[in-house]
């Protein structure tokens, strides 16, 4: 158990007049208990840009962490699940799944309880059955605010993971061959992770092909994943691993064959904009300020109009940690500011219809005075 994190959460709850918090299986339990033996199913949808309860697993949890503000926390879990909490030094109750109501009944108290998003329907049904008078409030926002600022241990883990992901990118580039499909390159990414200790992929590994002049090249991502790689194809990478309980998320782009001067210039412009953004970030700056910096730099090269927008608010990244997508996201509507200890994935993309789709993504640590890219892979290498 990480007593500092637990106490910080208690203080936040106390300030809001909340008597306790309940969390199901999720990154929140991993964060609060800080038990590396505990594993759970991560999905990129968790912590999505516009997260709702539908974005989280709404199956029934097999462990419940209850944190009353004025008492010690309690973990109630199935007998099997309890085996994965060997390093958790709090009161633990093992029981069969259908006995959760019975045991939490003896401990839950107060008039207002916060409940996390993961398995919320199940958790709410348990609380309301045993204490229908209790007011239920959102519990995700409290741990979310704590997880936004990484401590020294987390920064060390994420820095090591960024270095490994750089290494994996280097290995993939060495082994790419004509005729490989996007699926096969994804298999290679997965194998490198498995061979070097990754416990999971952070999400489906992408190596998006855009074959210049091909019938599919007018729309991003329509070159079929099982089709073979030919000369004259842009490859946009987006992949990440899970190691030591944390995720990486990373991107570079390459051109398989001889690229046109326009495409090489576009990639240079994209990398230049990325570097300028990283060099410009200062703690206290609004996260939404990134867009003007990107557009100004891309405009110097004549590529501002080619900035790829997933949506009108132009999401260009997110925070990362235990989950691959954590708040805050990076988009033009975000009111939050950069803070020391945040680790952001900054991922601008350019789209040149008929020619190429290119992207770059770096894991960036916000420091006391600025920002530092934790991913260091070459920004010059483009043709392979």
141-144: which pairs have CB atoms within 8 A and are 24 or more residues apart? 142/9, 142/12, 142/13, 142/21, 142/114, 143/9, 143/21, 143/23, 143/28, 143/31, 143/32, 143/116, 144/326, 144/327
Whether residues 111 and 210 fall in one domain: no
Average pLDDT over residues 195-222: 96
* CATH number of the CATH domain containing 290: 3.90.230.10
11, 146 Cβ separation under 8 angstroms: no
Q: Into how many domains does the chain fold?
A: 2
* CATH number of the CATH domain containing 9: 3.40.350.10
Q: In what order do the strands lie in the sheet with 135-138?
A: 91-95, 74-78, 63-68, 20-23, 112-115, 135-138
Whether residues 255 and 167 fall in one domain: yes
Read off the pLDDT of residues 111-148 as tens digits, 9 standing for 90 and up.
999 999 999 999 999 999 999 999 999 999 999 999 99
Whether residues 177 and 125 fall in one domain: no
Whether residues 111 and 186 fall in one domain: no
- Domain final residue pick, 121, 147, 173: 147
Average pLDDT over residues 269-283: 96
Listing DSSP states for 44-60 in one string gives TTTT-TT--GGGS--S-
Give the single-character DSSP code of 134.
P
Whether residues 194 and 139 fall in one domain: no
Peptide bond before residue 178 is cis, with ω within 30 degrees of 0: no
Q: Is residue 382 part of a domain?
A: no
- Residue 311, pLDDT > 80, answer no
Whether residues 17 and 37 fall in one domain: yes
Prediction pTM value: 0.94
Q: Is residue 378 part of a domain?
A: no
Whether residues 238 and 136 fall in one domain: no
Question: Phi and psi (nearest 5°) for 357?
Answer: -115, 125
> Residue 313: its pLDDT value, please?
75
Whether residues 142 and 219 fall in one domain: no
Parent domain of 70:
3-147
Whether residues 208 and 182 fall in one domain: yes
Whether residues 317 and 212 fall in one domain: yes
Whether residues 134 and 176 fall in one domain: no
Region of residue 248 (phi > 0: left; psi between -120 and 50: alpha; otherwise: beta)? beta
Whether residues 228 and 243 fall in one domain: yes
38, 110 Cβ separation under 8 angstroms: no
Which helix (DSSP H) or strand (DSSP E) does residue 113 occupy? strand 112-115
Q: Is residue 133 part of a domain?
A: yes
Which helix (DSSP H) or strand (DSSP E) does residue 297 occupy? helix 290-301
Of the chain, the percentage scoring pLDDT greater than 90 comes to: 86
- Domain final residue pick, 147, 170, 192: 147
For 47, 115, 150, 313, 327, the CA distances from 331, given in Å and listed in that order, are 15, 27, 21, 6, 11
| Pairing label, strands 135-138, 112-115 | parallel
**Coarse DSSP helix, strand, coil percentages of the chain, rounded to the nearest 5 percent:** 35, 25, 45
> Residue 77: its pLDDT value, please?
96
Model confidence at 56, pLDDT cuts 50, 70, 90, reads low
Q: Which three-class secondary structure state does DSSP give residue 76?
A: strand
- Domain final residue pick, 102, 124, 147: 147
Q: Count other Cβ atoms within 10 Å, centred on residue 135.
A: 11
């Amino acid at each position: 158990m990480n007593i500092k994190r637990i106490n910080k959460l208690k203080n936040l709850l106390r300030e809001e007049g909340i008597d306790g918090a309940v969390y199901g299986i999720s990154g929140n339990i991993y964060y609060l208990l800080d038990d590396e033996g505990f594993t759970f199913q991560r999905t990129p949808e968790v912590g999505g840009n516009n997260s709702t309860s539908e974005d989280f697993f709404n199956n029934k949890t097999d462990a419940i962490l209850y944190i009353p503000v004025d008492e010690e926390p309690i973990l109630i879990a199935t007998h099997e699940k309890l085996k994965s909490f060997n390093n958790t030094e709090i009161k633990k109750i093992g029981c069969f799944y259908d006995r959760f109501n019975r045991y939490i009944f003896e401990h839950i108290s107060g008039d207002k309880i916060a409940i996390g998003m993961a398995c919320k329907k199940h958790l709410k049904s348990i609380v309301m059955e045993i204490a229908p008078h209790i007011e239920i409030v959102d519990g995700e926002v409290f741990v979310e605010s704590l997880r936004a600022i990484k401590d020294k241990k987390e920064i060390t883990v994420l820095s090591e993971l960024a270095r490994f992901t750089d290494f994996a990118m280097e290995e993939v580039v060495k082994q790419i061959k004509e005729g490989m499909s996007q699926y096969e390159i994804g298999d290679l990414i997965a194998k490198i992770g498995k061979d070097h200790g990754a416990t999971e992929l952070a999400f489906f590994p992408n190596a998006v092909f855009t074959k210049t002049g091909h019938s599919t090249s007018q729309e991003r991502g329509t070159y079929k994943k099982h089709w073979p790689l030919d000369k004259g194809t842009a490859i946009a990478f987006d992949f990440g691993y899970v190691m030591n309980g944390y995720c990486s998320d990373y991107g570079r782009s390459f051109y398989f064959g001889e690229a046109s001067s326009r495409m090489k210039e576009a990639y240079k412009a994209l990398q230049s904009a990325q570097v300028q953004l990283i060099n410009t970030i200062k703690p206290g700056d609004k996260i939404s300020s990134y867009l003007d910096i990107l557009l100004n730099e891309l405009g110097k090269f004549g590529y501002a109009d080619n900035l790829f927008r997933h949506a009108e608010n132009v999401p260009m990244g997110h925070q990362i940690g235990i989950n691959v997508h954590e708040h805050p996201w990076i988009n033009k509507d975000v009111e939050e500011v950069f803070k020391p200890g945040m680790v952001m994935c900054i991922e601008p993309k350019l789209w040149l219809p008929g020619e190429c789709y290119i992207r770059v993504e770096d894991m960036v640590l916000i420091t006391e005075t600025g920002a530092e890219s934790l991913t260091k892979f070459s920004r010059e290498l483009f043709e392979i």
